[in-house]
Amino acid sequence: MNKRCNAEPRCSSGIFMRQTCEFCARVFCLTHWMAEAHGCGAAARRDARAKFVSGAYSRAANPAAEERRKALLHLKLDRTLGKMESSRKAKPPKKK
């Protein structure tokens, strides 16, 4: 079992908790486990973009469902605003 961090230049800390990078499959210490800290930043950005784009296109693939979702959100907002309006107290009229 590898007991040293694989970060370059060599990290001198021992590995208390093993963290494996999902992009390069190497083992790192808690200081270097993030992709940007050990050199896999470009791969992490590509992966994040791909996940974002696939989510954006999956919504646009079904426009009827998206319209229903928006309509339900508007109804919910209108109900919430109506409750807030009814719970407000009216200001007393000014006396002259």
pLDDT digits (tens, 9 = 90+) for 43-65: 999 988 888 877 655 555 677 88
Q: How far apart are CA 28 and CA 54, in angstroms?
A: 29
The answer to whether the beta carbons of residues 28 and 19 sit under 8 Å apart is yes
Does some domain include residue 24? yes
Domain of residue 62: give its range.
19-83
3-state secondary structure of 95: coil
The count of residues in the chain is 96
Domain tally for the chain?
A: 1
Does some domain include residue 48? yes
The pLDDT value recorded for residue 44 is 92
More confident site: 43 or 12: 43
Does some domain include residue 67? yes
